[in-house]
Structure 1
Amino acid sequence: MSTSFLEIIELSDGRLVLRRAEDETVLVTLDFSDQAKEFLQGQHIEIAKAMFSAGMQMAGKVVEDDYDTYGSDTVSRMLH
């Protein structure tokens, strides 16, 4: 994946998306239920920021580990 700026946007339907700023390609979508938003007392956007951040850090670690292990960035994965 090329280096680009990412942004978090709240769509008109309430979903939160992580997307590339320059071409608006959506990478990840979060959709909190009304019940979850109420439980989080309006802090769902802060929670989403933390979730996106943790996900990007983990994705970077997975890619780095695969490259270190296999010497390639094209490794197949089995999902359980």
Structure 2
Amino acid sequence: MDTVLFEIVELANGDVALQRADDKGEPLLTIHFSEESNFYLQDAKIEVARAMVQAGLEAASEIAEANRAEEGIEDIDEADQGPVQIH
């Protein structure tokens, strides 16, 4: 079972992106902060983006679990999927 590593990086245009650590291709997700947001966030932009990504992953997991429950599908053992790590 392989470990999937993701990283959150700041792109050249100032956007924040989630991408696979071993793949520098197109990001899986990008977050664009307005100039006003950048002014208020300053050095905390990456931490805020990390919290946004984590909240999104948790919400997606809850939605998928609810959908499986509605369809009568047994829970997928997360150990079978391999660990996912975001840094």
Question: What is the TM-score of this pair, normalised by structure 2?
Answer: 0.69
What's 1:57 paired with? 58
Determine if the alignment matches structure 1 residue 29 to structure 2 residue 30: yes
Structure 2: segments with no counterpart, 5+ residues: 75-87
Report the CA distance between 1:44 and its aligned residue.
1.4
Structure 1: segments with no counterpart, 5+ residues: 73-80
Q: Following superposition, which runs of at least 4 residues in structure 1 exceed 4 angstroms of deviation?
A: none
Q: Distance in 2 between matches of 1:22 and 1:8?
A: 12
What's 2:47 paired with? 46
Q: Distance in 1 between matches of 2:13 and 2:34?
A: 11
Q: Which residue identity lines up with residue 6 of structure 1 in the other structure?
A: F
Q: Does the residue aligned with 1:43 lie in a helix, a strand or coil?
A: helix
What's 1:66 paired with? 67
Q: Does the residue aligned with 2:43 lie in a helix, a strand or coil?
A: coil
Report the CA distance between 1:23 and its aligned residue.
2.8
Report if aligned partners of 2:18, 2:30 keep a CA contact under 8 Å in 1.
yes
User: How many aligned positions are there?
Assistant: 71
What's 1:12 paired with? 12
Among all aligned residue pairs of Structure 1 and Structure 2, give the percentage whose two residues are the same amino acid.
36
Q: Distance in 2 between matches of 1:41 and 1:11?
A: 15
Q: Write the deviation string for residues 4-48 of structure 1: whole angstroms up to 9, x where unpaired.
A: 221101111111111122334522110111211102233111111
Q: Distance in 2 between matches of 1:15 and 1:41?
A: 13
